[in-house]
Structure 1
Amino acid sequence: MSAIDYEIKSTDLPDGGSYADDAVRSNDLDHLRPLPRISMHAFCESEAMQRLMERCAEDRRMAKVSLRITSGSTAAAANMFAAAPTPNLIILETSTEPRDLLGELVPLAEVCDPSTKVIVVGHYNDIGLYRELMRSGISEYIVAPVGLKDLIAAVSAIFVDPDAEPLGRTIAFIGAKGGVGSSTIAHNCAFGISTLFSTETILADLDLPYGTANIDFDQDPAQGIAEAVFSPERLDEVFLDRLLTKCSEHLSLLAAPSMLDRGYDFERSAFHPVLEVLQRSVPVTILDVPHVWSDWTRSVLAEADEVVIAAVPDLANLRNAKNMIDALKKLRPNDKAPHLVLNQVGMAKRPEISVADFSGPLELDPIAIIPFDSQLFGNAANSGRMVSEMDPKSPTAETFSQIAHIVTGRTNTKRAKKSGLGRVLGLLGRK
């Protein structure tokens, strides 16, 4: 078969058969670290394998990988690399029988650089063949049909240091519309995670011109996230530690300057160095993402482990939430859907869309429903304290605890609790 390169594009999963039947559950890939900056070339004999490699190319853990996909056999790979340098990794799909496979690989071995790794995807479950391939220098042999998790895990096992410190989780909060309380929810959840689980947590306020985390925690830091973003060459764990402000025993704040003395136009990857250092520094990072849709916010949301969308139950929020969820599905095709939190529910004299009618078109049940309570939230904001500090036994404090458990994976996502919402449900029931 001749080698025919084709463009990597987004496709729908096939309805039946083979590789893509591995419906990837979100937590199957969550433990895998992002792959380093490597070059990879896959040679596929079947359309199913090509579709699998397409899905790999779209996965956020492969963001730094330079991937090329070719329709061709082992012979096509040998012919190509006879006149070109080999990449860091070659993935070969082959239907060759075990007795002939080692001989088929000889021409490729003769043109491969010594540092190049090879993964073979075969169609025979043969332990003798596996041992022979390992002795011959093949890095891994996987029996088809192959799942996305299996393939990325195999690549990760080759290129990611198994003794490296585990990466912390990043949880991004963003509002479906301005003023829906996404920042307030993010701040209360960061505080809840740090206190409920005694987990070292960093809250990063990414709204540089207008961020409110410093006000909500009654802090006035001289430095913060601006210094990290505008000086990436200086950024490491030691420099980051100097930029953090301690809010409580286990919670630190990377504050926004909240000043308009400069423009804040960022390139797509501007926040990547900051996020990488944060992941290496603490188990949990909460990202307070402003309600803007730009290259850098898309990139931050695509790279986060969890995304939480806050919304108010009205038509504009429903439209925006729907658009955001659809966009995130394309940005994060192998991750679970974002979480939805309905906020400010039951505001007096304000028409609302019912919870069922709001979540129906989104095909997403809210993980929490937070009632409108101007006194509780107003008092907390004006005193620079969190809701659980103001009224730890309130239903709203319990709701923030519920969100903290869900986004950190300490409990399964389930339908939002409705305790403490008697007045709200009464209002909704009359619609």
Structure 2
Amino acid sequence: MMRSAPQSAMDANPAQLPARDEHIAPAPRISIQAFCESVETAAAVQSAGEDRRLAKAHLKIQMGGMTAATEAYRSAPTPNVIILEFESRPEVVLAGLDSLAEVCDPGTRVVVIGRHNDVTLYRELVRRGVSDYLIAPVNTLDIVRSVCGLYSAPDAKPVGRILAVVGAKGGVGASTVAHNVAWSIARDLALDSVVTDLDLAFGTAGLDYNQDPPQGIADAVFSPDRIDTNFVDRLLSKCSDNLSLLAAPATLDRVYDFGADAFDAIFDSLRATVPCIVLDVPHQWTGWAKRTLLAADDILIVAAPDLANLRNAKNLVDYLKASRVNDHRPFYALNQVGVPKRPEIKPADFAKALDDDPAAIIPFEPQLFGTAANNGQMIAEVAGSHKVADMFRNLAQLTTGRSEAKKTKSSLFSPLLQKFRKNA
């Protein structure tokens, strides 16, 4: 009937929001049907269905609990996952599961939600093949964590984490920030990473890393039927021991109009093999750009200190916070701060408008950035001890929730970073 091994231990006190560095891997394209007995649980399941990590799942909710489930599947196939809530006595529940087993298809996984914190009951549920048991009341993330956990085997490789970097306005240096942060993630945190340049017409990642690969992301997005982990891996250009590049062609011989899900298979393939994926997202509001930001694990918005950037950054932060209620709010960094004779909006005013302090305030350093860009180098390669290089290192730690691979004096910032995450 159901999967025989439990996916998680019984938890008498469901967690609220996950820790900053908790990573819940997205579920694959599955069907889920929930049979609830309380409106509170139905609301939590409905909210979970709207979470980005269940974006590919097809969810249907029905009231009636165990009785409704047994009746529903007498003449219909069962979905990939059944969520059952019960408020009855344990013996009634176990009898109901025995009845459900008679009409349940092989391979269907069952998550049970109940109010009895009873080890004996839990063991009986496991013996009957229940995949997970949650103690009511449950919240949105309890459901997301449980369903996604069904498809994350304990011995499987962790699913890669995606950081999307986008500019609040064109020309604010978002690509430069993305490339330097990715470099620091790979070098300072010793984390295998891939930079994916999504600006297919005008992307600069190849120039910034001094790479001119013959293949890149265009070969994947225009060949959706060929996409798998091996195919995407062959398209990567190696930049350093831990950093690879999925480059943009940066040519104008064709137009790059894509559907909203055009990059999904590419991202899924990268997630399966690479711990960290940094997306260099161009400043545009298309279906695929919006989908990319909503599906990312973390988001870094780069803004210059002027009014248009302030407006756009606030719009982005407000929209993404409202659309990703179960995720950490987007980070933002101010770039090109301190241009001589240019009137600028102060960081404090940005912080007030966005209700959050900037993750970094990067000064205007034309000589440093210009030299790095023209040489195809990162800031740390041009001036490793410069304060700007330290800023990119701190951004790498903050956006990944990790400390440096080798302890250095910069670890003194750890208490500050932990305080920032706690208050975020």
Q: What are the within-5 Å matches in structure 2 for residues 22-421 of structure 1? A: 23-25=16-18, 27=20, 30-410=22-402, 411=414, 412=417
Shift of 1:325: 1.1
Shift of 1:217: 1.9
Do the aligned partners of 2:16 and 2:141 also contact (CA within 8 Å) in 1? no
Aligned identity (percent) is 50
After superposition, the Cα gap between the structure-2 partners of 1:152 and 1:76, relative to the gap in structure 1 and judged at 3 Å, is: same
Do the aligned partners of 1:171 and 1:287 also contact (CA within 8 Å) in 2? yes
- Matched to 1:390, the amino acid is V
Shift of 1:176: 0.5
Q: Tell me whether 404-413 or 204-213 shows the greater mean CA deviation.
A: 404-413
Give CA deviations for 1:237-273 in whole Å, capped at 9, x if unaligned.
Answer: 3333332222233222111111111110111111111
Q: Distance in 2 between matches of 1:139 and 1:402?
A: 40
Do the aligned partners of 1:41 and 1:91 also contact (CA within 8 Å) in 2? yes
Q: Distance in 1 between matches of 2:237 and 2:224?
A: 19
After superposition, the Cα gap between the structure-2 partners of 1:130 and 1:195, relative to the gap in structure 1 and judged at 3 Å, is: closer
After superposition, the Cα gap between the structure-2 partners of 1:275 and 1:178, relative to the gap in structure 1 and judged at 3 Å, is: same
Shift of 1:146: 2.1
- Matched to 1:238, the amino acid is N
Q: Distance in 2 between matches of 1:374 and 1:413?
A: 32
After superposition, the Cα gap between the structure-2 partners of 1:239 and 1:360, relative to the gap in structure 1 and judged at 3 Å, is: same
- Matched to 1:152, the amino acid is V
- Matched to 2:338, the amino acid is G
Q: Distance in 1 between matches of 2:418 and 2:51?
A: 23
Q: Distance in 2 between matches of 1:62 and 1:26?
A: 19
Shift of 1:139: 2.8
Do the aligned partners of 1:24 and 1:148 also contact (CA within 8 Å) in 2? no
CA-atom RMSD, angstroms?
A: 2.2
After superposition, the Cα gap between the structure-2 partners of 1:404 and 1:111, relative to the gap in structure 1 and judged at 3 Å, is: same
Q: Distance in 1 between matches of 2:135 and 2:376?
A: 57
- Matched to 2:142, the amino acid is D
SS in structure 2 at match of 1:27 = coil
Q: TM-score, normalised by structure 2?
A: 0.88
Shift of 1:75: 1.4
After superposition, the Cα gap between the structure-2 partners of 1:414 and 1:288, relative to the gap in structure 1 and judged at 3 Å, is: farther
- Uncovered stretches (5+) of structure 1, i.e. residues with no partner: 1-18, 417-431
After superposition, the Cα gap between the structure-2 partners of 1:194 and 1:22, relative to the gap in structure 1 and judged at 3 Å, is: closer
Do the aligned partners of 2:168 and 2:302 also contact (CA within 8 Å) in 1? yes
- Matched to 1:119, the amino acid is V
Give CA deviations for 1:120-175 in whole Å, capped at 9, x if unaligned.
Answer: 21111122222222233333322212243433333234333332221222211000
After superposition, the Cα gap between the structure-2 partners of 1:32 and 1:159, relative to the gap in structure 1 and judged at 3 Å, is: same
Q: Distance in 2 between matches of 1:32 and 1:359?
A: 29
Do the aligned partners of 2:165 and 2:175 also contact (CA within 8 Å) in 1? yes
